[in-house]
Amino acid sequence: MRIVRLAGEDDFDGWREAARALAGAGVPPEDVAWQVGLAGGETAPLPAPGTPFSVPRAFLTLAETVVRHSDPERFALLYTLLLRLRERPGLLAEGSDPLVRRLERMAKEGRQKAWRNEPARALTGTMAETSREAVGGNARAAWEAVREEARGCTRCHLYKHATQTVFGEGPVTAPLMFVGEQPGDQEDLAGRPFVGPAGQLFDRALGDAGIDRGQAYVTNAVKHFKFERRGKRRIHSKPDAGEIEACRWWIEQERTILRPTLTVALGATAARSLFGKAVTITATRGRAHALPDGGGEAWVTVHPSFLLRVQDDKEAEYAKFVADLVRVRQRLEAIA
Ligand code: URA
């Protein structure tokens, strides 16, 4: 058994250096004992680095976060995954792999621990149980870390053809969150949500409803543009249930960090992502709903692109949308 001694509980650099050398020399996971600090048995020098190999960037981001977790097995689990990735580089995208799922869960908890500065034990509560004050001032740093991690997202196949991940934007202290469907053609190119035609209509409606977009957080249920090519044009294509589910990982991170008082689902895809099941707009529109994640209340309205498409009563539909937003503003003023 080879003992690797790391300098501290979250010694990512030490783990990485050792893991590289061990993997390069073909040392199997069961032959390595990972220890932290000075106590323990004799350590052996690391083997000379073997043939260099590369791992997906997403793995390093995952590993960096997982080492913040308190699970004593974290270093060994990461090393096992590293070896498996050499055989199957696409493994991280297989959301069903139990090791990947376990490490992703640990990454989430490790991240929460880092920005709340609390022991991991306290992080098992729902969002509703954890007060905003407990969150401390590190929310922005946590959000930036998640956004960075999302850049390398391969949780579903959509990353392959999109230009980039389009993450949410807005103040992390915003009490109001808007969730759209997915970036469109222009958002995909700009890397920002709701900047194309639907975004412009959305901005107009927000203005008419007296809501300052700069004070809200705006994001999408799915973070990569899904489209079909027709000649030179890229035609929007609706994300399916699997893609929405795969991307819920990111919106859950955004919601855990922001903990908005009120969340507005713009259309059915957003509502499906937030409620974890299919809901119809007509049955849910215009009133408050509890969210399964315990994080504030949700309101549902139409997607702005519906207003671009609709042929009959265009103005009336727009007025209804603005009326929904006014109700949201009034509700927020009452409860925030
Ligand atoms: N439609 C969306 O749902 N989101 C965007 O960011 C743009 C268009």
Higher pLDDT, 53 or 100: 100
pLDDT of residue 135: 46
Residue to probe by mutation, ligand 1, list 179, 181, 195, 274, most atoms within 8 Å of CB = 181
Question: From the alpha carbon of 221, which atom of ligand 1 is closest?
Answer: 3
Give the Å distance between the CA of 61 and the centre of ligand 1.
27
The answer, yes or no, to whether any atom of ligand 1 lies below 6 A from the CB of 220, is: yes
Task: Tell whether pTM > 0.75.
Answer: no
CB atoms within 10 A of CB 65: 25
Q: How many CA atoms lie within 13 A of 194 on its CB side?
A: 27
The answer, yes or no, to whether any atom of ligand 1 lies below 6 A from the CB of 304, is: no
Residue to probe by mutation, ligand 1, list 305, 308, 309, most atoms within 8 Å of CB = 305
Q: At a CB cut-off of 8 Å and minimum separation 6, what does 245 contact?
A: none
CA angle 182/95/154 to nearest 5° reads 50
Higher pLDDT, 332 or 88: 332
Question: From the alpha carbon of 305, which atom of ligand 1 is closest?
Answer: 1
The answer, yes or no, to whether any atom of ligand 1 lies below 6 A from the CB of 269, is: no
List, as one string, the DSSP characters of 103-145. Answer: HHHHHHHHHHHHHHTS-GGGGGS-GGGS-HHHHTT-HHHHHHH
> Does residue 26 carry a pLDDT above 80?
yes
Top-confidence range, 9-23, 199-213, 289-303: 199-213
| Distance between CA atoms of residues 70 and 10, nearest Å | 9
pLDDT of residue 336: 78
The answer, yes or no, to whether any atom of ligand 1 lies below 6 A from the CB of 181, is: yes
pLDDT of residue 107: 82
Query: Helix, strand or coil for residue 112?
Result: helix
Mean pLDDT of all residues in 22-48: 82
Residue to probe by mutation, ligand 1, list 177, 303, 308, 309, most atoms within 8 Å of CB = 303
The answer, yes or no, to whether any atom of ligand 1 lies below 6 A from the CB of 183, is: yes
Give the Å distance between the CA of 182 and the centre of ligand 1.
5
